[in-house]
Structure 1
């Protein structure tokens, strides 16, 4: 099980003295390689030259990439570029793809580890809803030699890739679902145009993140809609239910691209989740880097989600969305009565929840106690974080939404990663 990890770490020790791991990437070479492999003459990827370059520069200068990290970054970039080229080719053959309507999508968001994945998974059990699956976000179109209706090969390939990654990060499976068929976060979609906070989670890339914060997310969400149109073109329409904590940093962009968007904000005590967020960040980064800095991770997740909580609060206090567009869900109620919570959301948004869909949700809950996660305990202090300081920092958010923060009102620490 640990052989791949051992081999890669041995390669790191050999490559580091030779300064091979911090060499600059060449974004133009990657674009040309992707075009050559696709047999494409189109300039479909030139518009991502700057964000791609920003990400690659930050990787080379700040991320302290491991051998596996460099291999993965190149593979990731080429895969994303290949998908962009395929999108352009499909649009050339059928321009109507870009005109497909994407009406009233639901965006589930909130602080990470607050139950958003759990809620998204319940919505995904209703066959009437559309959710982007992991395999669809990684390989949105058939591979070479694959029939348009054949998805088995892509599913198998993604599951094999996930198994490889799980060998390098074995704890991941206990804190986050990893399967080709589970619903995927939208950060994997926006990664295609290299404007995604997904990269900030898996790597230490502060200069890239600062650039992304400056330029905003509007272009990324224009592509986000385009991606959904391509999935609809292949698999049919239906109300989209989407999920990502990072949506809280792009609410204005979402409202611009999807004026009729609907939002579900899931709330949980931030002091209870940040150690889990920090540990998940550490787990995700470990295979890609030669050095983990727990204190830096702690500072990063605290600063990022203090900002995220402020944005969630501001969206509500400013009345940014019409009441019928928004619903607030508390984690405690979601865990105590998941089906009742989902039923109330369906009613709020005027959706029909039929008995077959309810039965599928019941089966999902029966098969996955605690949302399918292990009982994990993490300490804020391990990441240099002070519980009292965090409680004070998040006070505006927790007071406004009525979120309990005192220890006597909280359940066992082991729930930190449950139903994330």
Structure 2
């Protein structure tokens, strides 16, 4: 926090509620994550930058109080287990001229730089450089998840600035933080997510469209999503956990290897299998209370008939698709075919899992939704 103050020349972090998640996370990193020297330096730099953004957010709100009056409408949060087709669906829906979405460069740098023009060229350049560095640190990651610096990206990266985020136990082995996150009241974090969306809208007066957002993190706070964004529906993507859980474990192994030399694939697999089973159990309870707020999409349908699925989802959101949407969807699918799509091989046993165990642990989910 002192480094962030020195970096920005600002002192006001606003409400200090974030100190609890930050303290829990830092303690977990120091005692559990087995950070490498480079991982330690990268993390320290990242946390300083996130805290600096908190300072800049409060300064921007003080100097431009009208930003707090910006009306934010979230039409949908796309979520499901990771590796269930949510990224394809998100990027496809985001192509619609009826909606807007968080972009990769702006979740990395949401606050305008001093003296920056409307085109945000400095932030876009920084985002490209940052993505190139990430690709060097995790060369296999692009085979698991295509990242485009100016394309739609998960809004959970805005939540990172609250230190209440699934990002952290995905990039680090921090099980005590993960346990804390499951039981935490996330409403202050979602209040701030709304504030970040206000900032993004305020920067572009043409951006008053409904938001279509996406992250599996939102499975951990379904009721809070609904309370924060009254118009929002949850678009739930479904795929067999037999595929989704080992696939995500493979992704976590690739991400966490840049921060620690002690990456245990069995620990990763067992952690995320337990975590997702508990999350889906909790999700079922939240869903039963407000069933009209959910839209179900199956992975196989997203892959085999993406245009039809995109049109159906827009209809469910009260935004019927027209010719302009169809043209935008077709254009995105053409672009998507040219982006990098590698392959990676893995089996459940690589992560200490078995098909029998996954069948058993997720039977309650598979019997209802698959």
TM-score normalised by structure 2 residue count: 0.94
Q: Which residue of 2 aligns with 1:172?
A: 141
- Residue 163 of structure 2 is aligned with which of 158, 183, 194? 194
Give the 3-state SS of the residue equivalent to 1:90 in structure 2.
Answer: helix
Q: Following TM superposition, by how much is the alpha carbon of 1:289 offset from its aligned partner in structure 2, in angstroms?
A: 0.5
Give the 3-state SS of the residue equivalent to 1:196 in structure 2.
Answer: coil
Confirm whether residue 391 of structure 1 aligns to residue 362 of structure 2: no
- Over the residues paired in the alignment, what is the CA RMSD in angstroms? 1.8
Q: Residue deviations 1:183-215, cap 9 Å, x none?
A: 221221111011111101000111222222222
Q: Which residue of 1 aligns with 2:332?
A: 364
Q: C-alpha separation between the residues in 2 aligned to 1:264 and 1:41?
A: 39
Confirm whether residue 355 of structure 1 aligns to residue 323 of structure 2: yes
Q: C-alpha separation between the residues in 2 aligned to 1:372 and 1:129?
A: 25
Out of 47-56 and 67-76, give the one that drifted further.
Answer: 47-56
The answer to whether the Cα contact below 8 Å between 1:185 and 1:244 also exists between their aligned partners in 2 is yes
- Residue 5 of structure 2 is aligned with which of 35, 43, 49? 35
Confirm whether residue 76 of structure 1 aligns to residue 46 of structure 2: yes
Q: How many residue pairs align between the two structures?
A: 368
The answer to whether the Cα contact below 8 Å between 1:45 and 1:85 also exists between their aligned partners in 2 is no
Give the 3-state SS of the residue equivalent to 2:203 in structure 1.
Answer: helix
Confirm whether residue 375 of structure 1 aligns to residue 343 of structure 2: yes
Q: Closer, same or farther in 2 for the Cα pair 1:371/1:241, shift >3 Å?
A: farther
Q: Residue deviations 1:118-153, cap 9 Å, x none?
A: 100001112331111111111112223422x03222
The answer to whether the Cα contact below 8 Å between 1:80 and 1:191 also exists between their aligned partners in 2 is yes
Q: How does 1:181-260 map to 2 (within 5 A)?
A: 181-235=150-204, 236-260=207-231
Q: C-alpha separation between the residues in 2 aligned to 1:52 and 1:104?
A: 27
Instruction: Mark the structure with the bigger radius of gyration.
Output: 1
**Unmatched runs of 5 consecutive residues or more in structure 2:** none
The answer to whether the Cα contact below 8 Å between 2:171 and 2:255 also exists between their aligned partners in 1 is yes
The answer to whether the Cα contact below 8 Å between 1:111 and 1:308 also exists between their aligned partners in 2 is no
- Residue 300 of structure 2 is aligned with which of 332, 346, 353? 332
Q: Closer, same or farther in 2 for the Cα pair 1:96/1:322, shift >3 Å?
A: farther
Q: How does 1:140-159 map to 2 (within 5 A)?
A: 140-147=110-117, 149-159=118-128
Q: Following TM superposition, by how much is the alpha carbon of 1:376 offset from its aligned partner in structure 2, in angstroms?
A: 2.6
Q: C-alpha separation between the residues in 1 aligned to 2:37 and 2:129?
A: 20
Confirm whether residue 88 of structure 1 aligns to residue 40 of structure 2: no
Q: Closer, same or farther in 2 for the Cα pair 1:45/1:138, shift >3 Å?
A: farther
The answer to whether the Cα contact below 8 Å between 2:171 and 2:252 also exists between their aligned partners in 1 is yes
Q: C-alpha separation between the residues in 2 aligned to 1:178 and 1:150?
A: 21
Give the 3-state SS of the residue equivalent to 1:290 in structure 2.
Answer: coil
- Residue 341 of structure 1 is aligned with which of 285, 309, 312? 309
The answer to whether the Cα contact below 8 Å between 2:141 and 2:254 also exists between their aligned partners in 1 is yes
Q: C-alpha separation between the residues in 2 aligned to 1:304 and 1:46?
A: 28
The answer to whether the Cα contact below 8 Å between 2:75 and 2:233 also exists between their aligned partners in 1 is yes
Q: C-alpha separation between the residues in 1 aligned to 2:20 and 2:217?
A: 21
The answer to whether the Cα contact below 8 Å between 1:45 and 1:84 also exists between their aligned partners in 2 is no
Q: Closer, same or farther in 2 for the Cα pair 1:46/1:378, shift >3 Å?
A: same
